[in-house]
Amino acid sequence: MVVRSDINMNKLLIVIALMLSLTIYAEETVPAEVSVADTVNVSLQTDSTTNTTIFDVMSNVVVHQDSAIYRLVLDKVLGRETQEVEITGYRVQIYSSNNQQTAKQEAIKLEKDMQNKLDLPLYVSYMPPFWKVRIGDFETYEEAQEFKNSFVQEFPELMGDTYVVRDQVILRR
């Protein structure tokens, strides 16, 4: 007797995908966590000519997914998807050091401190022999300079280490 569970697993995955897509249309807001529960009913079948048994099990399927995944699927279904494009642009560098004893720890500490205070992405990198902390993904020098000016007003203690640098940046379009 041959059990054809791979086909049944494909059917189950298709049912789950359909349930998720239907949930997208049914919801008007994006909850913090999406939970979909439904019963899958499929019967037991035996093919006497090939002597194979195809079985599907009645079960409950619960799907928990992060709201970010929900938004991505919703954006794709509604045609609002964004693409990430990497271009040459600008970032604001707020730290650079080649002190082998402390540079890595200071860069990581500064990144953690700034994550709570800024809504822009932070990048810690090691370009031998320097550890660097950079902020943002700016398409133009003017945008980066404007952010730099407001940044040094808010954090004057970092003024001496803060300047605009050319870098590969990630833009969402």
**Euclidean distance between CA atoms 117 and 162, whole angstroms:** 16
In this structure, the answer to whether residues 45 and 111 fall within a common structural domain is no
| pLDDT score recorded for residue 97 | 96
70 and 17 in one domain?
Answer: yes
pLDDT of residue 75: 73
User: Do 53 and 95 belong to one domain?
Assistant: no
**What pTM does this model have?**
0.55
- pLDDT on residue 173: 73
Distance CA 60, CA 65 (A): 16
153/124 same-domain check: yes
Question: Tell me, what CATH number does 164's domain have?
Answer: 3.30.70.1070
- The boundaries of the domain holding residue 100 are 84-172
Q: Check whether residue 110 and residue 145 sit in a common domain.
A: yes
pLDDT in tens, 88-132: 999 999 999 999 899 999 999 999 999 989 989 999 999 999 999
Residues 69 and 100 in one domain: no
* Sign of the Cα pseudo-torsion (152, 155, 160, 161, in order): negative
Overall number of domains in the chain = 2
Mean pLDDT in the chain? 78
Is the pLDDT reported for residue 165 higher than 90?
A: yes
